[in-house]
Structure 1
Amino acid sequence: MTGLITDGPVLLDLDDDGVAHLRLNSPQSSNAVDVDNLKLLHEAVLRCHAEPDVRVVLLTGEGRNFCTGGDVKSFASKGEDLPQHLRSATAWLQIATGAMIQLKAPLIAAVQGFAAGGAGFGFVCAADLVIAADTAKFFSGAVRVGMAPDGGTTVTLAQIVGLRKALELLLTNPTLTAAEAYELGIVNRVVPEADLAEEALALARTIAAMPPLAVSATKRLVWGGVGASVDERFAEEARVVSELSGTSDSREGLAAVIERRTPTFTGR
């Protein structure tokens, strides 16, 4: 992979299985975000967009916590300039989060410790799949400090848990355990904390072994279908199925079934 990021608050590398490892790397601040590292995160996501060998993106946070939201110490230091600073920070959070949602490859978030605020909780809600340590905690936290939710959570959380439950979570700001987040559908799987890295990588490799064009198309169909009726989506599904049927991967998949062998997918 060209353009690896090996130093700084955001790290990026690609393994031989097509899994891009995107790491928030500010453990001393619990991976809290500010304008500078949101810009770097956006840059890293764009590199994943541009790299054809990326089949899955695995998003993790170094240290005890996945991401605790905005850097409140940085915010407090702005004084009367805070509104202007937050306009910039919120814009970059939107840009970075939107780029994650628009990734062709699925994004898996692996969460330990706290996932909080428009960044931590927002990244979880924007991910395609989420695997959590059994000790993980989730909350929005915005209203409790006189702010409003951001990072897209007013939309993504409602899509996941429904309108009424989203309003309850965002207005009352409970701290959800991993088990509670699982029951609400916010996370897909809960595993022992010691097994999180291994389990998340295994899930990423499982998806990376699938035909990437079909995986990407499925992601886009599901995200694009939120709020639409089944009738509205029939035509788009048919178009995508027809398009995929002409790919080498589709022919390889059918041949592998007939020949009773493991397929090899190339993304073409």
Structure 2
Amino acid sequence: MSEFAHIDTRTEGAVAVIELNRPHVFNALNRQMVTEIVTAMEAYDRNDDVRVIVLAGKGRAFAAGADIDEMANDDPITLELLNQFAEWDRMALIKKPTIAAVHGFALGGGFELALSCDLLFAAETAEFGFPEVNIGVMPGAGGTQRLTKLIGKTKALEWLWTGERMSAATAYELGIVNRVVVPELLLEETMKFAQKIAKQPPLSIRLIKEAVHKAVDYPLYEGMQFERKNFYLLFASEDQKEGMQAFVEKRKPHFKGK
């Protein structure tokens, strides 16, 4: 995918890597960049050779936030008609596992982008935060919602109201980050984990992701009904037959995603 101006893309085996590439502005997210990220994600989501998508940033940071210069003169009607956050909604429709590898800092829109991924790996020196309040606005691409669902109302309000930065260690303690690693090994460790998930049966991974996302919003009973249907659905797959047959025959299964 060489048509992009603000991101680089590549595949390593069954893992696709999308790297934010505006290092001169710490990967500040302008609207075109967000469109490119979503477009690349959707293309990899449709690519049968790709099983996991990793999102990372070039240069000294993951992403410094939204491009303030681009929106400083906007008004409510302009923003309503532009409907820029519809692009972010498309990220939530990606079926394959997405993992963010965060170094430097992920602030504002950069933090929202990281939270849009299923899992989050961070360098020990990484910092997270929503500084929007300091310039008279607030997160608009899901920050108040995703953070609250992850860490609860009172903790979320503390970080959103103060605009302060949290360390990778604090983000880990709050359950935002899955793994904290030394900066030099961030991408290597993220890729190692991604390759591990890529070896799992793709349909199981897909339907597990779908069910877990429902668990965040559904009452328990409705969530369990949804889980049950996905459980049943997997029994129509070749991978289920192969997985159980391999278990009986005491051999390693070979999953095809069918």
| Structure 2 unaligned spans of 5+ | none
More divergent stretch after superposition (234-243 vs 186-195)? 234-243
Q: Secondary structure of 2:236's partner?
A: coil
Q: Secondary structure of 2:60's partner?
A: coil
1:176-208 Cα shifts (integer Å, max 9, x gaps): 000000001110110000110110000111111
Give the match for residue 12 of structure 1.
Answer: 9
Q: Secondary structure of 2:19's partner?
A: strand
Deviation at 1:151, TM superposition (A): 1.4
Q: Are 1:35 and 1:88, in contact at CA under 8 Å, matched by a contact in 2?
A: no
For 1:86 and 1:191, locate their aligned partners in 2 and report how far apart those are by CA, in whole Å.
42
Q: Are 2:107 and 2:131, in contact at CA under 8 Å, matched by a contact in 1?
A: yes
Give the match for residue 91 of structure 1.
Answer: 83
The structure 2 residue matched to 1:250, chosen from 234, 240, 244, is: 240
Give the match for residue 221 of structure 2.
Answer: 231
Q: Are 2:111 and 2:128, in contact at CA under 8 Å, matched by a contact in 1?
A: yes
Q: Secondary structure of 1:102's partner?
A: coil
Q: Are 1:112 and 1:136, in contact at CA under 8 Å, matched by a contact in 2?
A: yes
For 2:82 and 2:119, locate their aligned partners in 1 and report how far apart those are by CA, in whole Å.
24
Q: Are 1:6 and 1:12, in contact at CA under 8 Å, matched by a contact in 2?
A: no
| Structure 1 unaligned spans of 5+ | none
Q: TM-score, normalised by structure 2?
A: 0.94
Q: Are 1:10 and 1:44, in contact at CA under 8 Å, matched by a contact in 2?
A: no
For 1:90 and 1:60, locate their aligned partners in 2 and report how far apart those are by CA, in whole Å.
27
Does residue 217 (structure 1) correspond to residue 207 (structure 2)? The answer is yes
Letter in 1 for 2:107: A
Please tell me the root mean square deviation across aligned C-alpha atoms, in Å: 1.9
- Change beyond 3 A, Cα 1:198–1:73: same
Give the alignment of 1:68-107 within 5 angstroms.
68-76=64-72, 81-83=73-75, 87=79, 91-92=83-84, 94-107=85-98
For 1:22 and 1:15, locate their aligned partners in 2 and report how far apart those are by CA, in whole Å.
11
Deviation at 1:73, TM superposition (A): 3.5
The structure 2 residue matched to 1:262, chosen from 243, 252, 255, is: 252
Give the match for residue 199 of structure 1.
Answer: 189
Q: Secondary structure of 1:203's partner?
A: helix
Does residue 63 (structure 1) correspond to residue 59 (structure 2)? The answer is yes
More divergent stretch after superposition (82-91 vs 65-74)? 82-91
Deviation at 1:74, TM superposition (A): 3.6
Deviation at 1:75, TM superposition (A): 3.8
- Matched residues, number: 258
Q: Are 1:134 and 1:178, in contact at CA under 8 Å, matched by a contact in 2?
A: yes
1:11-66 Cα shifts (integer Å, max 9, x gaps): 222222x1111111111111101122222222212212322222110000111100
Q: Are 1:45 and 1:99, in contact at CA under 8 Å, matched by a contact in 2?
A: no
Letter in 2 for 1:109: A
Give the alignment of 1:148-159 within 5 angstroms.
148-159=138-149
Give the match for residue 48 of structure 1.
Answer: 44
1:152-189 Cα shifts (integer Å, max 9, x gaps): 11111111101111111111112100000000111011
Q: Are 2:122 and 2:180, in contact at CA under 8 Å, matched by a contact in 1?
A: yes
- Change beyond 3 A, Cα 1:186–1:91: farther
- Change beyond 3 A, Cα 1:86–1:25: farther
- Change beyond 3 A, Cα 1:85–1:209: farther
For 2:30 and 2:76, locate their aligned partners in 1 and report how far apart those are by CA, in whole Å.
13
Q: TM-score, normalised by structure 1?
A: 0.90
More divergent stretch after superposition (104-113 vs 154-163)? 154-163
For 2:94 and 2:75, locate their aligned partners in 1 and report how far apart those are by CA, in whole Å.
30
Identity %: 35
